[in-house]
Amino acid sequence: MTEQGNEIVKTESVLCPTCGTRVTENATRCVVCGTEFRKGSGKKSKKTRAQITLSLPVAILLLVLFTLLSAGLTYAAVRLSPAPEQPTPTPSPTTTPTQTVTLEPTFTPTPEPTFTPLPPIEYVVAEGDTCVVLAFFYNVSVRSIIELNNLGVECLLPINQTILIPQPTPTPTPQATQTLSPAEATDAACQKVNYTVETNDTLSSISENYQVSMQAIKEYNGLSSDTVFDGQILIIPLCERVSFGPTPTNTPPPPYPAPNLLLPQDGAVFTLANDTVTLQWASVGQLLENEYYQVTIVDITDGTGLRKIVDYVNDTKYIIPSSFRPAESAPHIIRWWVTTVRDLGITSSGDPQFDSAGAESIKRDFTWSGAAPQASPTP
């Protein structure tokens, strides 16, 4: 509707079919959205029914709200619905190539030969035979002879009695061993002797005889006290003893060291009750077939030098016969010592000839009285 002069001219208007903006009936394009109108579209709009139209800002707002609502519903559905379980993949078996086993040749150990004990040797005891001499000659131990013949500890052998002597057992070849420690090597190099405790022996007297400390004897034998018993066998470590012998000189030393005298003690006393006196000393090593211990016994009190015994033995002991015991009641001083000698054969006069094979031992004295003292007559 426009004004021309004083008349008011009514102009009809139509709605844009796109955005709903009201435009004049003769408009060819919408001033808001730019939609072009076809001719006659304005008339046709009169015949259409009234439509609800929204402005562009309202449409945009509704579109945004719809989008937000859809996004919210989708997010809620995703969070509330349980997560689908993932299928566990089943591993497919892998084929391992089969190894070819090469069999090694089976080791068959060589059976060791079985030792058959040899029968003992029958031997008839001759005069002067001792268990030590027979054991040395047949290369067996004294204990084996004692056990086989049920002999006593003294191993006394009656003359003409037949005894059995075991044959030595062959020693197998030792297997290689590890290197000994310094302590084991020192102990293996230590020379030791076995001593059987006799009546009236004490650890102190044994220590003094062998010149070995009591502590060393206790350690080697595992003793916790100084008490020893009759018949007890003690190991005496001779490497712990104090060395005796002549002062070293420039002369080359003899093959054997001086024997270490054991019994009787220096200054021991023997009376008429003692029929014999046994002398003992430590071994200087294994003697050869023609080597002996020379035992010298002299009656010092006699003063003539004629009461004297010089004898040769393979053993480390010598029994002075009762015939050497003084016949008078006054005690006689008997001196004795031992050395090693070598048999050189027989002289032209038929006497045995010996040569020194080692150093001479120290000399010891003991007293020995014979007849009982006579009672003085009463005046």
User: Per-residue pLDDT for 172 more than 70?
Assistant: no
pLDDT of residue 142: 84
- Judged by average pLDDT, the poorest of 52-66, 168-182, 251-265, 355-369 is 168-182
19: closest CA among 29, 10, 9?
A: 29
pLDDT of residue 4: 47
Residues in contact with 200: Cβ distance below 8 Å, sequence separation at least 6, in sequence order: none
Give the residue, 132 or 300, on which the prediction is more confident.
300
Are the C-beta atoms of 14 and 53 separated by less than 8 Å?
A: no
14-61 per-position pLDDT tens digit: 788 888 788 887 788 887 887 887 755 444 445 555 566 768 888 899
277-295 per-position pLDDT tens digit: 999 999 998 888 889 999 9
DSSP string, 124-185: E--TT--HHHHHHHHT--HHHHHHHHT--TT----TT-EEEEPPPPPPPPPPP-PPPPHHHH
pLDDT of residue 105: 63
N- to C-terminal Cα distance for the chain?
A: 204
314-355 per-position pLDDT tens digit: 989 999 988 898 888 888 999 999 999 998 888 888 788 888
Q: What is the mean pLDDT of residues 123-132?
A: 85
pLDDT of residue 141: 85
92-110 per-position pLDDT tens digit: 656 565 566 566 666 666 6
Q: Give the angle subtended at the CA of 363 by the CAs of 361 and 364, to the nearest 5°.
A: 125
Percent of the chain as helix, strand, coil, to the nearest 5 = 20, 25, 55
pLDDT of residue 251: 44
pLDDT of residue 43: 47
156: closest CA among 292, 259, 276, 272?
A: 276
Handedness of CA 135, 312, 128, 282 (dihedral sign): negative
296: confidence class by pLDDT, cuts 50, 70, 90: very high
Element (H, E) at 217: helix 214-221
Inter-CA distances, 262 with 204, 207, 223, 265, 357, Å: 13, 10, 21, 7, 21
Are the C-beta atoms of 214 and 240 separated by less than 8 Å?
A: no
Q: How far apart are CA 225 and CA 100, in angstroms?
A: 70
Q: How far apart are CA 329 and CA 350, in angstroms?
A: 39
Give the residue, 160 or 109, on which the prediction is more confident.
160
378: confidence class by pLDDT, cuts 50, 70, 90: low
Strand 364-368 with 268-270, pairing: parallel
Which residues make beta-bridge pairs with 183?
Answer: none
Are the C-beta atoms of 326 and 370 separated by less than 8 Å?
A: yes
Element (H, E) at 367: strand 364-368
User: Per-residue pLDDT for 9 more than 60?
Assistant: no
360-371 per-position pLDDT tens digit: 999 999 999 876
Q: Give the angle subtended at the CA of 332 by the CAs of 195 and 312, to the nearest 5°.
A: 50
57-77 per-position pLDDT tens digit: 888 999 999 999 988 888 888
Q: How far apart are CA 178 and CA 8, in angstroms?
A: 140
Residues in contact with 122: Cβ distance below 8 Å, sequence separation at least 6, in sequence order: 162, 163, 164, 165
Phi-psi region of 304 (alpha: psi -120 to 50; beta: other; left: phi over 0): alpha
243: confidence class by pLDDT, cuts 50, 70, 90: low
Question: Domains of the chain by range and CATH?
Answer: 2-47 (no CATH), 121-165 (3.10.350.10), 188-242 (3.10.350.10), 256-373 (2.60.40.10)
